[in-house]
Amino acid sequence: MVGTTEINGTKYEYEYLLSNSTGEISFTDGVILAFDITDNLFDPFSNGYITISNPYNVIESKFLLRGDGTDKLKIRFNPKDKKDKKIEQEYIVISESNFIDDGTPLKNTKTYLLNSIEEVTMTAKFPYNEKYNGYAGDIIKSIFTKFNFPTGNFDPGNFIINEYPEYIIPPSTFRYIDVLFYFLKYYYYQDGDLAVKGFVKKGSDGKFGMYILTKDIFNKNDELVYEGFNSGELVSSSVSNPNNPPPVAETKPYINNIMSNSLTTPATEFSNTFFMNTIVSGYDPILGESEMIELRLKDIRKKWKAKFVDVFKSVGGKVKQHLNLTDLKIKGEFKLTRLPFKTKDSAKIIEANMVNDFTFYNLQLNINVIGDPGRTSGTFIDVFKLKNDKSKSDEKLLGRWLVTSVRHVKLLNTYRNEIYCVKTYAGPNFDEKDV
């Protein structure tokens, strides 16, 4: 059953359909007390939960879960006049919880924990004695096509299994989803002089694809800007703060104002744990020799800056890189790493991981705003101010942020988003004392 409801002055179309082989039951928006759906750049599959009003256990009188992984819940939620901006996904109910009111059964509720149907399907199959060789991107794509999930572009990347060992046979404990994450862990793409990671994501067209961190995300930041957020004041077209990004993002009056935010600068905990010079060791079976490759923070940072900082602009001039690296850290000790692959591949995998550390263990922002189903991870948002009030935090807060996660939270007759972002740079007046 497709219905309509109005939230925050916007009319939404919705559909909530629970089904299995024994039948189906649909719900109106009025009985949906809450749903929470999370879209994360680091996870190809969305997940969440939904809480439904269940007075006098009325759901059980019409429908029962089988509990065997075949119970499906379809959620569709979109503005009535913008059907391209939508939440639409079929989930598998992996558990249910009942909350009983001691005073009256009229207030009973039921909560279903949800995993996307693609994720559950991949855990249900068992790849016993299957062999994998070739490029990692092609192997990952083959897992999706095996289950007939729609796929888009999957760049094969540069990590290939075609020499020693000739192929990989997953352990008997692996399922297809384990194979997927195994190859995602070691996938890298050689972008010029720097190895970077790729991320599998379901696009707005419903197809899964591989998104390279540089060429498909950061290099396209102008195209991927979804909207702009004004920090603390009413929206207008004025842009006078030098830390502001260029005024290209769409802004919506009364929706894109953030009166408060959680801006975090990662410090010693992250830099000590993730930022270290690395020696990658290996063995050449043909020459019978040990091999070592050094990966130095100062060298990787220079290449990283060109691809992850210099691609951004600000109104007041050239932006500055932001990375918590002291001279002691840059010249400090090495850690030793060894992977079961060719030494060159191992070094590129570690290099791509170092680039991820520089990028995602950097400036972080969390904002809570009125909801929009079109928001998704892997896009960018602009944060700007309408006046230059000489706030020191502007150097870090204002600018273009990569969205890494979006929570779509509907609670009774409200709908909001929690948006989590990272940023690799600061404003033109930022003092780089770590260089």
How much of the chain exceeds pLDDT 90, in percent?
A: 63
3-state DSSP percent of the chain in helix, strand and coil, to 5: 25, 35, 40
> Cα-atom radius of gyration of the chain, to the nearest Å?
24
Contact present, 266 and 250 (Cβ < 8 Å): no
Q: Where are the beta strands (DSSP E) in 285-379?
A: 289-295, 320-321, 334-338, 363-370
Burial 353-363 (b: 16+ CB within 10 A, else e): bbbbbbbbbbb
The β-bridge relationship of strands 198-202 and 277-284 is unpaired
* Predicted confidence band of residue 238 (pLDDT cuts 50, 70, 90): very low
Torsion of CA 158, 163, 169, 170, to 10 degrees: -40
DSSP 3-state of 399: strand
Q: Where are the beta strands (DSSP E) in 285-428?
A: 289-295, 320-321, 334-338, 363-370, 380-384, 399-411, 414-423, 425-426
* Predicted confidence band of residue 260 (pLDDT cuts 50, 70, 90): low
The residue written with tokens 């920090």 in the block is 231
Average pLDDT value for residue range 213-223: 96
Q: Is it the case that residue 183 has pLDDT exceeding 90?
A: yes
The per-residue pLDDT of the chain, averaged, comes to 88
Q: How many CB atoms lie within 10 A of CB 316?
A: 16
Q: Which residue has the higher pLDDT, 93 or 130?
A: 93
DSSP 3-state of 146: helix
Residue 431 CA: distances (Å) to CA of 12, 324, 395, 396, 425: 47, 12, 10, 11, 12
CA 115, CA 92: separation in Å to the nearest integer?
Answer: 5
* Predicted confidence band of residue 389 (pLDDT cuts 50, 70, 90): low
Q: Which residue has the higher pLDDT, 82 or 350?
A: 350
Render 188-235 in DSSP notation, one character per residue: -EEETTEEE-EEEEE-TTS-EEEEEIIIIIGGGHHHHEEEEEEESS--
CA 168, CA 185: separation in Å to the nearest integer?
Answer: 14
- pLDDT score, position 172: 81
| pLDDT per position as a tens digit, 4-55 | 999 888 899 999 999 999 999 999 999 999 999 999 999 999 999 999 999 9
Please state the length of the chain: 435
pTM as predicted: 0.91
Across the strands, what pairs with 403? 421
Structure tokens at 119: 């994720």
- pLDDT score, position 243: 83
CA 247, CA 150: separation in Å to the nearest integer?
Answer: 36
CA 255, CA 227: separation in Å to the nearest integer?
Answer: 11
| Preceding peptide of 253 cis, ω within 30° | no
- pLDDT score, position 8: 82
CA 93, CA 91: separation in Å to the nearest integer?
Answer: 6
The β-bridge relationship of strands 257-258 and 225-231 is parallel
Provide the CATH number for the domain formed by 3-118 in this structure. 2.40.10.10
Look at 10-24, 128-142, 394-408 and tell me which has the smallest mean pLDDT.
Answer: 128-142
Q: Is it the case that residue 433 has pLDDT exceeding 70?
A: no
| pLDDT per position as a tens digit, 289-344 | 889 999 999 999 999 999 999 999 998 889 999 987 777 677 777 889 999 888 99
CA 180, CA 210: separation in Å to the nearest integer?
Answer: 12
Output the CA angle 5-7-32, nearest 5 degrees: 60
Contact present, 26 and 16 (Cβ < 8 Å): yes
Look at 93-97, 170-174, 350-354 and tell me which has the smallest mean pLDDT.
Answer: 170-174
